[in-house]
Structure 1
Amino acid sequence: MKSVFYFLAIVFLAVFTSCGKITPEKLTCEYMENPAVVDVQQPRLAWINVADEGERGQMQTAYQIKVASSEDKLNTPDLWDSGKVLKSESTRVEYAGQPLQSRTECWWQVRVWDKDAKASAWSEPAFWRMGILNQNEWKAQWIGAPWEGEEHFVRPDYPGQKFDEFGPPAPMLRKSFNIEKKVKSAVAFVTGLGYFEMYLNGEKAGEDVMVPNVTNYGKRPLLGEMLINVEDNFRDYKVMYLAYDVTSMLSEGENVVGAILGNGFYNPRMFWCEGYGTTRFLGQLHITYDDGSEEVIVSDESWKAAKSPILKNMVYYGETYDARLEQPGWCKPGIDAGSWENAVIREAPFGKLVAHTAPADKVMEQLQPVKMEKLENGNYFVDFGQEISGWVRLNNVSAPAGHQINISFNSNLYSGDNTYIFRGEGSENYAPRFNWFVFSGVEIKNWYGELKPENITAEFVYTDVPESAEFETSNPLFNQINDIWKR
């Protein structure tokens, strides 16, 4: 028995001492960790080499990359095996394997050799997914709500024109479909202009907010005096789409996919800035079944549309939400959508569809009030103690149906605010979807009853970029400035 123990100890020691002194970690593709979608056919790969504790002067002298179409195939990769490459590069290493097709899942690993020519262990597997590489592979159509029209919005004093600042309610879109086989995988490639949220069987897809990122969507007309149109000599028009793995959100039987659309910067509804048009949505849900067959659910005129409780949404000027107009379960199976209207086909924006490869905005932090004060006029002022970008969330509040409150943000440059109209049934929760503010405190007008600290939370919204370093000094002001700018 002892001989077996000694043998295993010797083998372990031999393996341990033969490994290199650096280990590849934090693998990225196109500067993102495990990106949900990439649309370049030679993605750039990178990793960070971490030296063993106590090691100094270590360096990478070679690397080997393996890429496969599934994690199970990494031992015998079917897409690329670089072999041992005698180079020290660990950033911007271009993929050089088999041509990548649209929607291909790519799993990869890397190992490196140190200055003593000793190889590391293989890294943990990382992942990227190819997007839709050719524009003609988009079978979906841009759709919108029939009540929005295709009008453009101009200065209110422009002859013969009318500017409707309030605007139509934000559209809700839905499509019901059936699944009768076991699902192996399902990925949705979607976008909406200006902003959108996608839902499947009542659940929101992804944690991102206010997507896609703002781009130069395309040409827009000048329909009045002094309107802003800054892209006359700029031709890099694009519209970003996102990808969501929704495999776990599907079930056998009836399923419902839906979306809510916000104006964003595509349709800013500001008299001093011309928009591109009304809101629209594009979606393509690719379902692969266990038997190898595929099905694609696309946005088209078979979708249904209804007005949401979001009566007004403007990037700078706030949101009005009437909870009495909510349709519980609007994106769940089993509801009667007979009163919904047919969606209409919208003209595609001029910009090319490209993958959303930058980190998205998310609710990254939450703050509780540091001070609450009831003012002489009966309003409440809530101080959160620091300047943030985001919004406030109301938690477990109640008031009679139709009671209206107004939330004003103390540092907002554009005098915007949010208005909430109560449903009047049980506890209610509210946060805006398609606008944000810079503020340190809010004034709440016409509150019903007593406002308690647990009823209100400030939510930090900023880009989900991983920190690569830390900064801390003995000066609290410097630390606070650093905390602000990195958000």
Structure 2
Amino acid sequence: MTDPTRPSVEHHRVPIGIGERRPRLSWRVDAPPGWHQTGYEIDVVRDGRSTVVAVDSPDQVLVPWPGEPLRSRERVTVRVRVRGADGAYSGWSPPTAIEAGLLEPGDWRAVPVGADWPEEAESDERRPALVRRAFEVGGEVVAARLYATAHGLYEIEINGRRVGDDAMSPGWTAYPQRLRYYTYDVTGHLRAGANAIGSWLGDGWYRGRLGWRGGFRNLFGADLSLLAQLEITYADGRRQVVATDPRWRAAPGPIVRSGNYDGEVYDARDELTGWSAPGYDDEGWTPVRVGQRDPATLVAPMGPPVRATDEIRPVAVLRTPGGRRVLDFGQNLVGRPRIRVRGARGDTVTLRTAEVMQDGEVYRRPLRDAESTDVYVLAGAGVEEWEPRFTFHGFRYVDVDGWPGDLDAAVAAGDVVARVYHTDMTRTGWFECSEPLLNRLHDNVVWSMRGNFLDIPTDCPQRDERVGWTGDIQVFGPTAAYLYDCAGMLASWLVDVAAEQLPDGTVPWYVPVIPAHHMWTPIRPGAGWGDVAVLLPWTLYERYGDVAMLARQYPSAKAWVDLVDRLAGPDHLWDEGFQLGDWLDPSAPADDPAAAATDRYLVATAHFAWSARRLADMAGVLGEAADAERYARLAGAVRRAFQRRYVVGPGRLTSDTQTAYALAVAFDLVPAGEIGACGARLAELVAAGGNRIGTGFLGTPLVADALTRTGHLDTAYDLVLQRDCPSWLYPVTQGATTIWERWDSMLTDGTVNPGQMTSFNHYAFGAVADWLHRTVAGVAPAAPGYREILFRPRPGGGLTHASAAHDTPYGRAAIAWVLAADGTLTVDVTVPSGTTAVLDLAGQEPRTLGPGTHRELGKAIDGN
């Protein structure tokens, strides 16, 4: 057998500056069929000494730390070898270096520093500052680490060279409780003698405009401040600390203004050459203002930062009927434009972004109050290259104004590109089938996830919103966890959910909370949205097997269900109060997205029952036996209350809608003998509606599964493959390259829906991709973390082949099936080492499979 892979650490891509004192380890094994791990050894090298710990266990994912907790700044290496049933060990894996961050509040000597300008300069349009400090390096440097964060956003340079490649750092967390810092290895940035460190600062979420209807500024603070600590270790054991303190200096930079919604204005005539390099004369700079920050609120990251992951060139240079020059990038994306330009001093290039065009012109009404405009004023210094630093846009089209020279030639030369930004998660899931429109739909789901996983899971990336709506990620979580390794990012966001949760258990509609929320979205309980506290942790546990995450979120989940229990009262019906319900179902009027066809209190009570059941499951996993029994009883009581209030006959509900029956079936809310009748009524409704979708945010993830479960697979395929509006494929036929917020964000006549909710990049309806993975291709977890895998393809809809691959915590699981003209089904599956699988083909007894590759022949079965 081959040796194990290099151990991974928690959910970190690169485990430097981590915050876990006892980090869990994982590895993969590529073993021959029949081999099983019975034990492992972990070799930990710390302080120059090796310690080998032997464990009798088949586990290889998130196994416990084998030694003493890590200390602040401690660097260790770990490697692993595994033992089979014959007692023989593999060779040692390659080593992984692990380095702790600053784990104690007392480790911090840095304080926030920013510009100390007159009070009137703290207006909404204050120009961001640069801050810097010179220092000396005296001796042979063996290591240097920079720990950095900011009130606002930062990009740091040492000796004129950028540190790191992350963007929009430190991101958006519940700032009063948690401010993330990042750790950088800057050993190679230093030189003997004179050195300098400096940072750009930007508004970001901390100080920039947030919220709709005009929004608010300075919500978390009026200052823009860097908090950074450079620690230099010399060969003789000395350690030098260069921290932000009163010795730093500040000056206005060339960024005139920046903001997430409105874009960035940059005047290259104001650039300060060499300002972050040694020898620069900062005589004209002013002393900094020193702020305060409780170091106990500084936290290490749990997942990767935002980075540029792709560059895309325009596919066309358009001239609109009004004479505008517009670049079409062929893909709705999230990121920033980058330009290379030559012109005279003072020439100004203005870049206005938009997702769509209407009547041949760039159409920006869906942006609402977001200006989404970048402006570059040339210095006139030859070829100039520029990309905004502290903003991001959702766009396919860029209106270019003021370009000096031939824009067509510049585009052909690659002088204008779109740089794609999102949290730098590892791709883990793929899907492909014989229907090109389904493949494009799946691609659109991937692009919408990329665009809306920018530090937090946002609702949309383009208009004056871009917040972490809890209901959206609650429904999309299973799809997200298949497509990308988002465990660390979402685990961190869930910590913020708990931090923002009110003492009575109320979960905000979006997290982090905008402090001025009371102006338009007061924090109050809402079904489907608040249930994220229970349902998303459970989804992540199913997909990653992370029990510690489940335990961390358990108090939050429990507080939510207890709150709803109090609100429902003795009759166990949540039938009072404000609800968003089945948000944006196709029957909702353009100006009232919550006016869905399904009774919002039916939806609320259904989610109450489901979250109570899942909370009981969580309690069982965590060994909370009394809680498990209590919440199982509660779930049963709510289920019976649902039946008394909302079931009006066999297979009939008070709301005769697709969403109502999908909830009843998927959440097991009706007596077992009536599940089939509910499924039959659901199938009738779908057929009567011409196989068009009739669900909103909360019904959409469930409807295809409900049909499949009740024996109406053909109807599920008819629904998913429908091309007329409203449907999943209607936007694809209209040229969509991402998932739309509304089923008809673009109307059939080519005009944009008149409603306010008309984002063209919203992942919620893309939750159907989870059904594509599990049912069309046929791969799903059968035990937490894919320790057991279910291969259960259900061909239909005229598809002749489909395939899916997912990089589970144990390795790649894959399935591919081909349906021949005579009905013969050929299925190939790959089962990773450390797991077992069940192959369930229609009309055959399920088979248990061990690790390796397998081929099975079957027959296509009528979906009904």
Residue 161 of structure 1 is matched in structure 2 by none
Taking structure 2 as the reference length, the TM-score comes to 0.48
1:77-476 alignment runs, 5 A limit: 77=50, 80-82=51-53, 84-147=54-117, 164-165=123-124, 167-218=125-176, 237-270=177-210, 271-273=214-216, 275-277=219-221, 278-348=223-293, 352-375=297-320, 377-395=322-340, 397-411=341-355, 413=367, 414-451=370-407, 452-453=410-411, 454-474=414-434, 475=436, 476=439
* Larger CA Rg, structure 1 vs 2: 2
Q: 1:315 to 1:50 in 2, by over 3 A?
A: same
Unmatched tracts of structure 1, length 5 or more = 1-20, 153-163, 219-236
Structure with the greater relative contact order (CA < 8 A, sep ≥ 6): 1 or 2?
Answer: 1
Taking structure 1 as the reference length, the TM-score comes to 0.83
Deviations 1:249-273 (A, max 9, x none): 1000100011111111111235523
Deviations 1:316-354 (A, max 9, x none): 111110000001111011111111111110122697111
Q: Does 1:478 align with 2:448?
A: no
SS in 1 for 2:150: strand
SS in 2 for 1:343: strand
Q: What CA distance in whole angstroms lies between the structure 2 residues aligned with 1:434 and 1:473? A: 39
Aligned residue type for 2:400 = I
Tell me, yes or no, if the aligned pair for 1:109 and 1:123 is still in contact at 8 Å: yes
Q: What CA distance in whole angstroms lies between the structure 2 residues aligned with 1:308 and 1:288? A: 32
1:15-26 alignment runs, 5 A limit: 21=1, 23-26=3-6
Tell me, yes or no, if the aligned pair for 2:4 and 2:29 is still in contact at 8 Å: yes
Tell me, yes or no, if the aligned pair for 2:351 and 2:373 is still in contact at 8 Å: yes
Q: What CA distance in whole angstroms lies between the structure 2 residues aligned with 1:115 and 1:128? A: 30
Aligned residue type for 1:90 = Q
Q: What CA distance in whole angstroms lies between the structure 1 residues aligned with 2:14 and 2:402? A: 47
Q: What CA distance in whole angstroms lies between the structure 2 residues aligned with 1:139 and 1:258? A: 17
- Shift of residue 377 of structure 1? 4.9
Tell me, yes or no, if the aligned pair for 1:105 and 1:127 is still in contact at 8 Å: yes
Q: 1:131 to 1:151 in 2, by over 3 A?
A: farther
Residue 62 of structure 1 is matched in structure 2 by 39
Q: 1:176 to 1:423 in 2, by over 3 A?
A: same
Tell me, yes or no, if the aligned pair for 1:378 and 1:446 is still in contact at 8 Å: no
Tell me, yes or no, if the aligned pair for 1:35 and 1:357 is still in contact at 8 Å: no
Q: 1:57 to 1:399 in 2, by over 3 A?
A: same
Q: What CA distance in whole angstroms lies between the structure 1 residues aligned with 2:22 and 2:373? A: 46
- Shift of residue 486 of structure 1? 4.6
Tell me, yes or no, if the aligned pair for 1:31 and 1:45 is still in contact at 8 Å: no
Aligned residue type for 1:136 = G
Tell me, yes or no, if the aligned pair for 1:176 and 1:257 is still in contact at 8 Å: yes
Unmatched tracts of structure 2, length 5 or more = 356-363, 451-864
Deviations 1:427-456 (A, max 9, x none): 111101111011111001122221121220
Tell me, yes or no, if the aligned pair for 2:137 and 2:193 is still in contact at 8 Å: yes
Aligned-pair identity in percent equals 31
* Greater strand share, structure number: 1
* Greater helix share, structure number: 2
Q: Does 1:39 align with 2:19?
A: yes
Q: 1:442 to 1:377 in 2, by over 3 A?
A: same
Q: What CA distance in whole angstroms lies between the structure 2 residues aligned with 1:394 and 1:111? A: 50
Residue 155 of structure 1 is matched in structure 2 by none
- Shift of residue 389 of structure 1? 0.6
Q: 1:337 to 1:369 in 2, by over 3 A?
A: same
Residue 228 of structure 1 is matched in structure 2 by none
Q: What CA distance in whole angstroms lies between the structure 2 residues aligned with 1:480 and 1:241? A: 33
- Shift of residue 26 of structure 1? 4.6
